[in-house]
Chain A
């Protein structure tokens, strides 16, 4: 349960909102690199944190992320001509470079220097790991580039996709740290999805549907440990990483690639669900990549030409009641990602958390909200750098391990919970 004012603080991320100020202290994934494949390619509309922006790649291959609208009379520069080192508004020919600086106003004498007085808001756009990242906060607070492991391994070892989710970022993200729903909503996929099936740990998931949780703060967020019984009296632990503000990494299963998400606000009623898969030790196989492109695992199939899932609210998520009755899917919706998204979107654009009734297994969610609210307060009151900005907080791994009952997972799995180059994930 959250009071309305707390809910507002967490769910509103527009400019000058407290939550928006928090988000603007991080590097955020903005586009897939293939959305701007070459110099002078078509510009792309981007909305992030309730700001309308335009991404483009100039003649020299430089990436720009600028205010979408021409400073002259507010035309969308999406119609612009990407030529000769800048983006030209087709209405009256005003031209902007990749920093948003106006470099030409054809109607004004060149000597007047008028164009030097016009500059659109812009943000850096930097490629790393197949993702174009942006930082939308105060320039003097700009942190080093992100060091998430999936973005730093060789490209052939990782795969990243994004999909539109039509609800507030927080209710989407909270699903990422809620391990207890897996044994219900996704139980069919544990046995059938090519990116999940076959792991020993799946048997523990399916056999013990009442996990017990332990939650501890990590430097950048939380460790959410869910333990289940093994056949020999030990505990099977699945330890999820949550790093502020919205990075989640799901514990691995067998030798499958490890996956996770970023939940990035588009505006207060929509977000991007970024989904990554990577293997720390080997290239992804052709069949793994094919499965990911086919919408398996945590990825989706799209409405062609968009990042909107093929199954979406306009077609009732292609719900199949017969598959639900027959047990092929638990909710009738196919695919892990859309099983989650369909339910999260059904809560409405921004769920009213004053009406919810949390239970003890929701403690990961409770603590994540607590840490976010605390970070917002510290940022507003003391200009404190929030957790998760430090690149050391980003070099983390999720883990699945079997431990003796007396062992605390945080201590016993310390090594497993941090990036160790050349060492595989700890997995069952």
Chain B
């Protein structure tokens, strides 16, 4: 008589696996951190996505945005790809995952820190993608990675734009 595992592992048993969806759509916010990564995020946004929306924080970096009183404000930190200003915290309240995209060699310290701190405060997972590593010096790449590292649970040094798209698709974005 075969064991329970032997029976359960058989290919024939696969047809009895429950066929209901075991997931709900994740909400993924993809954010370009610098001007050079923005065109890529725009191209990425052309794809078929279930729960991904795309933003740029590059217009405000590296200078910190402020409100009418000259105080630092998260309300004017982000833009969507149509150029509309978005409140970072509002976006994070509905997010499951934030993907930060930076070009190797760009200074993203401040913008990564602001988004990273906000994600930390709102308990949103963050991942980072670094593009253009082949064209950047090791020092420049190190600098960008070092700026993202404190704020990301996973960093991908992407050899191609396709790698980022595949990663987001695999994460059901």
Contact = CB atoms under 8 A, between A and B. Distances in A.
Interface string A333-346: 00000000010011
B11 interface: yes
A424 interface: no
A214 B5 contact: no
A216 B144 CA distance: 14
Interface string B140-173: 0110011001101111110100110011011110
B3 A316 contact: yes
A316 B5 contact: yes
B138 A367 contact: no
B4 interface: yes
B71 interface: no
B28 to A, nearest CB: 11
A338 to B, nearest CB: 12
Interface string A346-368: 10111010010111111100110
Contact of A213 (B5, B10, B138, B153): B153
Count chain B CB atoms within 10 A of each CB in A167, A315, A357 and give the residue with the most. A357
Contacts of A411: 138, 141-142
A381 interface: no
A406 interface: yes
Contacts of B9: 166-167, 313, 345-346, 348-349
Interface in B19-49: 22-23
A314 B125 CA distance: 41
Given A359-B171, A360-B97, A406-B146, A367 B3 contact: no
Interface in A376-428: 405-408, 410-411
B11 A317 contact: no
Q: Size class of B's contact patch?
A: 35 or more
A352 B169 CA distance: 16
Nearest to A366: B170
A164 interface: no
Contacts of B10: 348-349
Interface residues of A, number: 42
Nearest to B170: A366
A363 B156 contact: yes
A214 B169 contact: no
Contact of B156 (A1, A2, A367): A367
B22 A355 contact: yes
A396 B81 CA distance: 43
B69 interface: no
A384 B163 CA distance: 19
B1 to A, nearest CB: 10
Interface in A1-40: 1-2
Given A1-B170, A406-B142, A212 B6 contact: no
Contacts of B113: none
Nearest to B149: A405
A166 B9 CA distance: 9
A406 B149 CA distance: 9
B127 interface: yes
A214 B145 contact: yes
Interface string A148-178: 0000000000000000001100000000000
Contact of B145 (A367, A370, A408): A408
A215 interface: yes
B51 to A, nearest CB: 13
B2 interface: yes
B68 interface: no
Contacts of B150: 405
B171 A348 contact: no
B104 to A, nearest CB: 10
Interface string B42-76: 00000000000000000000000000000000000
Contacts of A406: 142, 146
Nearest to B141: A408
B42 to A, nearest CB: 22
| Most chain A beta carbons < 10 A, residue from B138, B171, B172 | B171
A367 B8 CA distance: 30
Contacts of B2: 314
B159 A360 contact: no
Nearest to A210: B153
B90 interface: no
B14 interface: yes
B155 A213 contact: yes
B128 to A, nearest CB: 9
Contacts of A360: 97, 125, 127, 153-154, 171
Q: Identify the 3 closest CB pairs spanning chains A and B, nearest first.
A: A216-B157, A360-B154, A313-B5
Given A342-B5, A355-B22, 20 more contacts: A213-B153, A213-B154, A215-B157, A216-B159, A217-B157, A217-B159, A269-B11, A313-B6, A314-B6, A316-B5, A317-B5, A349-B11, A352-B17, A355-B17, A366-B167, A366-B171, A369-B170, A405-B149, A408-B138, A408-B141
23 contacts: A1-B169, A212-B154, A213-B154, A213-B155, A215-B156, A216-B157, A313-B5, A314-B5, A315-B3, A346-B5, A346-B9, A348-B9, A348-B14, A348-B17, A349-B9, A355-B17, A357-B22, A358-B171, A363-B127, A363-B154, A366-B167, A408-B142, A411-B138
